[in-house]
A and B are shown apart, each in its own frame.
Chain A
């Protein structure tokens, strides 16, 4: 009797693990008690001698002893189906650290962590990072779902965030003091996409699909609402697919039943590639496929091959300028790959990292042979960024943490490369 009960429990646990996807490997670290957060404040109490006055404030100071580096964090998917985002963004940030990473003679070091694009992974990474007393700011996380899981941990530790890519609109509505982003929101993106579909492409019957994530579902609902508002017809109900699978022929067949002229998909590259590969079989040949910034990049074209032709994506690729041309050259010589091929966040990531470094510079104080960074003042300095000139644009943060003014730019796949759609 006892044995069989245990057996049943095992199976239940296993099935739960199956739903939790590959993130399980990182799980133990997520258990790390949140009580570790006060560790960041500890130096304030321990180093009374020679401490600047600013450190008396709440949250205290991050103390960088001589010979240590200032830790600037980044977290995103570095392995797995979405790894292109994490690799590209951290690459760009490394360049920013190389260009500006010197605060009063103290070097800035980029700590790029793999959060597997999952909420559990993100919480584990955040808990691990905040235990380091020299970790002061976070240029991430990359994905919206991961960001919302990590936010409370940074909030408690007084670590300001400036994400170049977390686009879910709800992130800035939670009233967080530490979270800021330099990306557009999905609300802007969805409005832009719906208008582009309806007005520019002249699509009158749209089907909407998503992957059920914070990002994908939010985007899909936004597009649906705006498209209806514009007077278009959204056929059928929103169809959700399970991320990570290889066969979406059944959901696609149900979309085909509504005979749409175009499909909008809220989600990421891996699932989008499977979808476009199976559209013809499902009877959706010639139907336009439109998606968000989550599919832009080389990986989608590699996986979808010829089926990628004519697929649209909204991106935040900045318009050409001298600064960007110079950056692209450096990126190419450093990594052997053109900037913006892996993801669209390259330039924005560079700007996020350099803006955070600028904010650190504005509050850091040298006293004795240590560098003191008042955490409370740094949080305020990042939220107060004003007219920061980056290569992709000007970063000015509003009271809610939105720091981007530019809207989405639409790209389309033509002859195997992403080109701006006219």
Chain B
């Protein structure tokens, strides 16, 4: 017995020595490669870099919104809700059907006999699409917790994790049966036409900043601020933080733990739903598989930022989006390898800071 513990100690010492070395080697290689591609080869002009950055920011904003859902749930229940991406997909379908419905209601005028409600009342349509998407996703979050997770409240966390994976597959297949397996085009109101936007000159060349992109980014920023205010300033936020710190003590202080958990799932579902409708508006394609990849990416973002930490999830989301868009170009490799870059950076972050960029040291219980 003593022998093995000695070996463990020597392993730890080795890793303490290896860790900075590996980090240093990989980082210096990456930095050199970036220097070579960006400054020596000069493959891309500044306007192209701006384009990469814009595309990364928009994607990152959506990742951040979904990542917050992972982090909120982890903070309170210490479980990874892998069905969260599917909640986003259901929200996206909510928005899609509202747009379809409004595009079906004719509101003819003299000037334009083909006008539909979608374009005669575009702002109202967009608001209602968000209301529908957010409501559906919030409700799915609520029922997901109630049906799949609540009966397992006392079970080991591993069982919850596998239940979450099962719930994810079940929701995906349900959506495939209900809505069919092909990708559907989302019809946007005219004012948010996908290829329209402001043209900005960067080093003498025009760069198109799309309305849908700005809209998504601004909205996700607003939602993140709103969430921060809810968590920091309201009574619900205070009880959420209390439950996150210590469930039992919070219960002793009169916090209804079940209620707080339900509300946390509703809030994280609503954020995912909003991200889903943004996905509709900006990407324009939706099917049962829409939520899966963004879900995995957002989980990665949450881990990168420090799981359990809300600003960390936001930072991780934006960072991951940027890495995916700018990374392959900066390293001069194929765009198909963008996930490799994102996950390499994740590993690097975890080597240097095992609790994530903004993650605090986790207590014994949370581990």
* CB-CB contacts below 8 Å: A206-226 with B: 212
Nearest B residue to A1 via CB reads B8
Q: Is the CB of B158 within 8 A of A7?
A: yes
Q: Contact between A277 and B194 (Cβ–Cβ < 8 Å)? A: yes
Minimum CB–CB distance for B323 against chain A, Å: 11
| B194 partner residues in chain A, CB cutoff 8 A | 277, 281
**Residues of the A chain whose Cβ atoms lie less than 8 Å from the Cβ of B197:** 281
Contact A7 B335 (CB under 8 A): no
- Answer yes or no: B260 CB below 8 A from chain A CBs: no
Query: Do the beta carbons of B284 and A277 come within 8 Å of each other?
Result: yes
What residues of B have a CB within 8 angstroms of the CB of A302 in the complex? 185
Interface residues of B in 188-241 (CB under 8 A from A): 194-195, 197, 205-208, 210
CA distance A79 to B210 in the complex (A): 33
B150-175 Cβ-contact flags toward A at 8 Å (1 or 0): 00000000100110010000000100
Say if the beta carbon of B182 comes within 8 Å of chain A. yes
B59 at the interface (CB under 8 A from A): yes
**Among the listed B181, B324, B336, which residue makes an inter-chain contact with A80, where contact means beta carbons less than 8 Å apart?**
B181
Do B283 and A247 touch (CB < 8 A)?
A: yes
B29 in contact (CB, < 8 A): no
A173 within 8 A of partner (CB): no
Docked Cα-Cα span, A46 to B181, in Å, equals: 44
Q: Is A83 at the interface (CB under 8 A from chain B)?
A: yes
- Which of A14, A80, A244, A282 sits near B51, CB closer than 8 Å? A282
**In the complex with contacts A81-B182, A250-B329, A253-B48, A244-B289 CB distance below 8 A:** yes
Residues in A neighbouring B336, C-beta threshold 8 A = 212, 240-242
Whether B293 contacts A257 by the Cβ 8 Å rule is no
List the A residue with the shortest CB-CB distance to B183.
A81
Instruction: Report whether B324 and A250 are in contact in the complex, using a CB–CB cutoff of 8 Å.
Output: yes
Assess whether A15 is in contact with B296, with CB atoms less than 8 Å apart. Answer: yes
Say if the beta carbon of A18 comes within 8 Å of chain B.
Answer: yes
For the complex formed, measure the closest distance between the CB of B347 and the CB atoms of chain A, giving whole angstroms.
12
Which residue of A7, A15, A79, A245 contacts B181 across the interface (Cβ within 8 Å)?
A: A79
Shortest CB–CB separation between residue B171 and chain A, in angstroms?
A: 14
- CB of B208 within 8 A of CB of A283, answer yes
A324 to B182, CA, bound (A): 30
Q: How far is the CA of A283 from the CA of B289 in the complex (A)?
A: 29
Tell which of A6, A19, A246 touches B284, judged by Cβ atoms closer than 8 Å. A246
Contact A239 B182 (CB under 8 A): no
Q: Given contacts A240-B336, A253-B55, A254-B335, is CB(A83)–CB(B161) below 8 Å?
A: no
A285 CB → nearest B CB, Å: 9
Which B residue's beta carbon lies closest to that of A236?
A: B43
Contact A283 B328 (CB under 8 A): no
Question: A239 and B43: CB pair below 8 A?
Answer: no
Expressed in whole angstroms, the minimum distance between the Cβ of B185 and any Cβ of chain A is 6
**B324-365 CB contact bits vs A (8 Å, 1 = yes)?**
111011000011101100010000000000000000000000
Chain A interface: which size bin? 35 or more
Cα(A79)–Cα(B176), bound, Å: 10
Q: How large is the interface on B (under 10, 10 to 19, 20 to 34, 35 or more residues)?
A: 35 or more
- The docked-state distance in angstroms from the alpha carbon of A6 to that of B161 is 11
Query: B182, A247: Cβ atoms under 8 Å?
Result: no
Contacts A18-B292, A239-B334, A277-B195 known; A250 to B208 CB distance under 8 Å? Answer: no
A22 sits at the interface (CB 8 A): yes
A247 touches B185 (CB 8 A): no
B48 pairs with A256, CB closer than 8 A: yes
* Cβ-defined contact, B52 with A253, below 8 A: yes
Q: What's the Cα separation between A83 and B285 when bound, in Å?
A: 16
For B158, what are the chain A residues with a Cβ–Cβ distance below 8 Å?
3, 6-7, 10
Q: How far is the CA of A212 from the CA of B335 in the complex (A)?
A: 10
In contact, A280 and B181 (Cβ under 8 angstroms): no
The answer to the question of A188 belonging to the interface, with a C-beta cut-off of 8 Å to chain B, is: no
* Partner of B283 from A244, A246, A251 at Cβ < 8 Å: A246
Assembled-state Cα–Cα distance A79/B284 (Å) = 20
How far apart are the CA atoms of A393 and B81 in the complex, in Å? Answer: 56
Q: Is the CB of B45 within 8 A of A257?
A: yes
B104 within 8 A of A: no
B56 at interface, CB cutoff 8 A = yes
A274→B285 contact, CB < 8 A: yes
A267 → B minimal CB distance (Å): 12
Residues of B within 8 Å of A281, CB to CB, are: 194-195, 197, 208, 210
A120→B48 CA distance, assembly (Å): 38
B181 and A83 contact, CB distance less than 8 A: yes
Q: How far is the CA of A403 from the CA of B292 in the complex (A)?
A: 42
B265 part of interface (Cβ distance < 8 Å): no
Q: Which residue of A lies closest to B208 (CB)?
A: A281
Complex Cα distance, B283 from A280, in Å, reads: 14
B51 contacts across to A, CB distance below 8 A = 249-250, 253, 256, 282-283
How many Å lie between the Cα of A31 and that of B173 in the bound state?
A: 22
Chain A residues with CB below 8 A from B289, complex form? 22, 244
Given the known interface contacts A14-B296, A246-B283, A270-B183, the answer about A251 and B165 at a Cβ–Cβ threshold of 8 Å is: no
Given contact pairs A14-B82, A18-B292, A281-B195, A250 touches B52 in the complex (Cβ within 8 A): yes
- Is A303's CB within 8 Å of the partner chain B? yes
Cβ contacts under 8 Å, B325 to chain A:
249-250
20 new A-B contacts at CB < 8 Å, known A250-B329, A270-B183: A6-B158, A80-B181, A80-B182, A83-B182, A240-B336, A242-B339, A250-B55, A250-B56, A254-B335, A257-B44, A257-B48, A274-B285, A277-B195, A277-B284, A281-B194, A281-B195, A281-B208, A283-B207, A299-B182, A305-B185
16 A-B pairs whose Cβ atoms sit less than 8 Å apart in the complex: A14-B165, A80-B182, A241-B335, A244-B289, A246-B285, A250-B51, A250-B55, A253-B48, A254-B52, A277-B194, A277-B195, A282-B51, A283-B47, A283-B205, A302-B185, A303-B183
Q: Write the residues of chain A forming the contact surface with B, with a CB cutoff of 8 angstroms.
A: 3-4, 6-7, 10, 14-15, 18-19, 22, 25, 79-81, 83, 212, 236-237, 239-242, 244-247, 249-251, 253-254, 256-257, 270, 274, 277-278, 280-283, 299, 302-303, 305, 307
